[in-house]
């Protein structure tokens, strides 16, 4: 059952790929084989698929027992998430399944998305290689074959692209494959934008595969939800001992050539942070992200606890230039009780420093006129002046009334070192509760650089810098003095007036009038964004 070696039957001169419009006269044996393959993807893979072996070149795809189970898992579940160790064949297994799905399911769109477009296209090239080595009686006619797409005469197609919010927007995707999803930047935003597309159909399938890459990211969240059966995904796990030929001797040799930490993450499927993270890996594993109780429509503001009229709050702000790279962020902390609590976050990489003060003051007023501590470096000074002078928000931390530009806090090597040290102690001694997924993700990649700490390559640390600033601030006299005064008298004198202000600024409750005001505030925030 080899391919017809007739160039006239091949796609664009490729005699290994049957072009559209070629009629094949099936033998009885071919019909039987076609039916077997249609029914069982594992049979299709074992009998007809070929892959590239590093040592032997092109070889038949001899499935390991766990790979046969993986095919069955893909086929029986609509939403699959696979946690697999390195070099376990998860990617090639997925590739063969995608090809099988496109061949035997007419009028379907399969999307391969990876962290980089080049990676996704390389996955598609594996699909093409497998297609080229199928006998013609199994191949649908090919209409399009290029680096980014593969389209068949049965009106099914396979496309490849990088993960972004616009990757599959406006398209009807029947099977979405996300490779190494734990390493995708801005995975939360991508998944939020993509989920409506993949969930719209009743039979749409999703396959997510990855090795671990710290805690707090979207892959970790989906995997944990699947294990705990709190989401619609079904989990499948491949550990190093599942792969034939790997034993304790192999383990010891691999550790000797790498490290214990690297082996734990890449082969033992342990969700640990980057090596030598500021916060210990053990503690990072214990941080559990929560869903916000409210999200401000049109803005990246997440409320994890609503303001309590009797509580005291501090907001720490990190400012970017608003050019789509680093993020402007703030975190609001409840300091009333111990442990301190992260109760509200903001994260936006597009907002201008000129517009950020309005958002800061709005949120600070909701949280009982929270004390606002703004990093004054670079663009931060613009925000400091906007909050303190333009909007006349008096509860802004003033580093010095003597020096020019004394509004806010100047982040120096010394203050950052103090902040990092205190932050580590606060989290590891359970004195600070972190619940935001973006913050947890950034903590898992906040690593040593020279004599300081910063985000690992390809990661962000803007949310972590809120925590660092808070860690520094709790060591200052300004924070120590908070317990020595009656904050309720300092922040407000009229409870009724304060509650009215909270409503006016969109404080959320179940009351319809309040919700109406909240929607109006969301509309105003959207207008700011559109300016």
Catalytic residue list: 180
Cβ distance 37 to 138 under 8 Å?
yes
> How many other CB atoms sit within 10 Å of the CB of residue 431?
13
CA–CA separation, 126 vs 135, rounded Å? Answer: 16
Residue with tokens 């477009």: 117
54's CB contacts (< 8 A; 6+ apart) are none
Burial 285-304 (b: 16+ CB within 10 A, else e): bebebeebebebebbbbbbb
DSSP-derived secondary structure letter, 339: S
Question: In sequence order, what DSSP letters do the residues of 442-485 get, joined into one string?
Answer: HHTTEEEETTEEEEPTT---HHHHHHHHHHHHTTSHHHHGGGGS
Q: Are strands 175-179 and 109-114 parallel, antiparallel or unpaired?
A: parallel
Cβ distance 77 to 83 under 8 Å?
no
DSSP-derived secondary structure letter, 124: H
Report helix, strand or coil for 15: strand
Burial 224-258 (b: 16+ CB within 10 A, else e): bebeeeeeebbbbebebebbeebeeeeeeebeeee
């Amino acid at each position: 059952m080899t391919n017809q070696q007739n160039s006239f039957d091949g796609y664009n001169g490729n005699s290994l790929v049957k072009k559209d419009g070629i009629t094949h006269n099936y033998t009885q044996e071919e019909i039987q084989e076609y039916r077997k393959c249609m029914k069982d993807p594992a049979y299709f893979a074992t009998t007809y698929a070929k892959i590239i072996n590093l040592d032997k070149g092109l070889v038949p795809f001899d499935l390991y027992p766990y790979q046969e189970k993986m095919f069955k898992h893909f086929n029986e579940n609509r939403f699959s998430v696979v946690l697999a160790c390195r070099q376990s064949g998860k990617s090639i297994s997925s590739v063969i399944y995608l090809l099988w799905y496109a061949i035997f399911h007419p009028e379907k769109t399969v999307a391969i998305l990876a962290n980089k477009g080049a990676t996704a296209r390389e996955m598609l090239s594996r699909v093409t290689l497998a297609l080229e080595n199928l006998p013609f009686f199994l191949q649908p006619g090919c209409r399009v074959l290029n680096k980014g797409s593969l389209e068949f005469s049965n009106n099914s197609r396979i496309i490849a692209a990088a993960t972004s919010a616009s990757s599959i927007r406006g398209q009807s995707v029947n099977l979405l494959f996300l490779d190494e999803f734990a390493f995708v930047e801005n995975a939360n935003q991508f998944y939020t934008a993509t989920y409506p597309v993949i969930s719209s159909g009743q039979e749409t399938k999703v396959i997510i595969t990855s090795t671990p890459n710290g805690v707090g990211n979207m892959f970790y969240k989906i995997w944990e939800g699947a294990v705990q059966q709190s989401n619609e995904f079904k989990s499948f796990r491949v550990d190093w001992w599942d792969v034939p030929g790997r034993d304790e001797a192999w383990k010891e040799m691999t550790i000797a050539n790498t490290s214990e930490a690297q082996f734990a993450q890449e082969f033992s499927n342990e969700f640990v942070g980057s090596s030598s993270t500021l916060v210990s890996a053990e503690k990072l594993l214990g941080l559990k992200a929560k869903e916000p109780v409210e999200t401000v429509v049109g803005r990246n503001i997440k409320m994890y606890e609503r303001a309590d009229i009797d509580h005291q709050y501090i907001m720490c702000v990190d400012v970017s230039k608003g050019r789509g790279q680093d993020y402007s962020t703030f975190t609001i902390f409840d300091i009333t009780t111990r442990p301190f609590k992260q109760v509200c976050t903001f994260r936006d990489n597009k907002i201008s420093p000129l517009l950020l003060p309005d958002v800061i003051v709005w949120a600070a007023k909701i949280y009982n006129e929270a004390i606002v501590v703004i990093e004054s470096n670079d663009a931060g000074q613009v925000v400091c002046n906007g909050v303190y002078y333009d909007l006349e928000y008096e509860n802004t931390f003033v580093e010095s009334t003597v020096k020019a530009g004394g509004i806010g806090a100047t982040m120096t090597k010394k203050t950052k070192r103090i902040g990092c040290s205190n932050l580590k102690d606060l989290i590891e001694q359970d004195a600070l509760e972190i619940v935001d997924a973006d913050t947890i993700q950034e903590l898992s990649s906040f690593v040593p650089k020279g004599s300081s700490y910063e985000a690992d390559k390809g990661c962000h640390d803007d949310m972590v810098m809120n925590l660092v600033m808070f860690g520094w601030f709790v060591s200052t006299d300004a924070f120590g003095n908070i317990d020595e005064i009656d904050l309720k008298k300092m922040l407000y004198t009229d409870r009724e007036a304060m509650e009215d202000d909270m409503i006016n600024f969109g404080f959320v409750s179940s009351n319809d009038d309040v919700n109406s005001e909240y929607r109006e505030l969301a509309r105003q925030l959207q207008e700011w964004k559109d300016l």
